[in-house]
Chains A and B, each alone.
Chain A
Amino acid sequence: MVPDTPLSKPVPRPSPESRSFWDGAKDRRLMLPRCNVCGQFWFPPSQRCRHCLAADFAWQESAGRGRIYSFVVYHRVYHPAFENDVPYVVAIVELDENVRLLTNIVGTPPEDVRCDARVRVVFADTDDGAVLPKFEIAP
């Protein structure tokens, strides 16, 4: 575990349940747990299906497309490592697989971001080797 210093951004600290998600991101694949019994996806990852509680599931790659359910724009610096990022967009993206992820919208000025805009996944490298799935407005 890498301790946060004021100048480094927090790193995702995978749980046993989420490790496959973060490992997938390193391979530039957006991986989601999908139930082998009812066929539905869920998120955040856990060991049983959130729809039918079955324990039989597999990791499946998402198509990486969806829409912005809602978003906010950070103007205040809550963590010194984000000082050069403000204003930045944090969004809830609803994937076409019907799960919602917390993420960033990149590549579009904050004032042009809208709810319900279509988005697609991009993968952002970080200094510490983790890769973060983020989203851009789909052309």
Chain B
Amino acid sequence: MIAPSQRLRNACAIVGAGNSRLGQVPGVSSLDLLIEAMANALDDAGLKPADIDGIIVRGPDDSYCHHQQAGERLGINARFSTSLDNGGASQILSVAIAVMAIEAGLATTIICGYGRDAWSRTHKSDAARVKNQTRPDDQHAQEFGPEYGYFGAVAAHAFGAQRHMHEFGTTRENFAEIAVAFREHAMRNPDAQIRKPLSTADYFKARLIVSPFGLFDCSLRSDGAGAVIVTRSERARDFKAPPVMIRGFGSFNNLTGWFAADNMIRTAARQSGEAAYRMAGLGPSDIDTAQLYDCFTYMVLVQLEDYGFCAKGEGGPFVQSGALRMGGRLPTNTSGGQLSEAHVEGMLQIVEGVRQLRGTYPAERQVAHANVALISGHGGNQVCHSTLILERG
């Protein structure tokens, strides 16, 4: 099979990671949130903006040349600079491209990041709240959707959940366990947007949004940003923070569409994961913690299957075993994820993976013996996927 070169395995490391304030941060633009996270990542690494010679970001959907705007605010020029367009899969892809650019000699020290003001944007007026849109109107479908009352990402993913329930007997109890487990993690995270306890009973009492999804199947609208700094591993011990090695990465894109074939129940996570495992020389049994793109509860369940943590169709029993909890087989989304910490389109999953592998969390937040983390990104119109495998330095 085709996979990224094993020559790149552990060639680079993440030497800085940071996040902005998360949740409801009114009056701060997407760009300012991003710069806040970048400043924190630089501080984490003990670097100054002038030490950075590469920028890879994903802009908000209505922003042109976002990387240029980020560079302006950082006050730097860059050898390598670009913006990505793979939705929630972009953030991991930015780290993968950073490794490729560094190995190709295009740059030495690249900052990757993403930020958005999704809470502020969707709460600026009553009309904005109803529309709940983070994209400008002209980027929405003009036919084969809105005239049938089809709006939003909730329904797109709920289609997958419904089909999965039909084929494999998955239940809303399984989805509830995912929501409850991640909330428990968020309660240990002082930065998390939502830290209120959540029970299975609360999950079932909550209003339905687009069934089979109710309120707690859906990730948050968040203001927030994250950033990481990538450089060659041989320099990685020169920085303030303990390095985390980039052991493997992969991507796959089901461009034929979310509605095509069985793409919504056998996602691109499978091929993306196979590529990353092959580059890393590892398999599912080597992963100590997963930070999965949890835009909706169901997406966690299906990815657990597609990444081989359990067989296809066995995601329900796997999560019900308590596997995702601290102390479980695969503590997952240990910061609370997008369901409870903040939804920053996969960027915070990378930040949390780095922090777990540094092993510096207080005991209640630290995954025991966390040596390898698998991180996922999912997005675009549900079809782009990327995988990152990180290893303790």
Contact = CB atoms under 8 A, between A and B. Distances in A.
A, B co-complexed = yes
B211 interface: yes
Interface stretch (A31-39, A54-62, A65-73): A65-73
B142 interface: yes
B210 interface: yes
Contact of A70 (B145, B154, B162): B162
B205 interface: no
Contacts, number: 99
B142 A78 contact: no
A72 B151 contact: no
B148 interface: yes
A52 interface: no
A102 B145 contact: yes
Nearest to A72: B158
Interface residues of A, number: 41
A92 B148 contact: no
Interface of B, helix, strand, loop or mixed by DSSP: mixed
B150 interface: yes
A79 B146 contact: yes
Interface residues of B, number: 33
A22 to B, nearest CB: 8
B64 interface: no
B132 interface: yes
B97 interface: no
Contacts of A75: 207-211
B7 interface: no
Interface in B256-314: 259-260, 264
Given A69-B163, A80-B130, A115-B163, A74 B147 contact: no
B131 A14 contact: no
A132 B147 contact: yes
Residue of A13, A88, A132 with most chain B CB atoms under a 10 A cut-off: A13
A73 B210 contact: yes
A5 interface: no
A90 interface: yes
A9 B214 CA distance: 24
A117 to B, nearest CB: 10
B144 A12 contact: yes
Interface string A113-139: 011100000000010001010100000
8 contacts: A18-B144, A70-B163, A72-B211, A72-B212, A73-B211, A78-B151, A79-B131, A104-B148
Interface of B: 130-132, 142-152, 154-155, 158-160, 162-163, 166-167, 207-213, 259-260, 264
Kindly list the 10 A-B residue pairs having the minimum CB-CB distance in the complex, ordered from nearest.
A10-B146, A115-B166, A78-B151, A13-B142, A12-B143, A75-B208, A70-B163, A72-B158, A70-B159, A73-B211
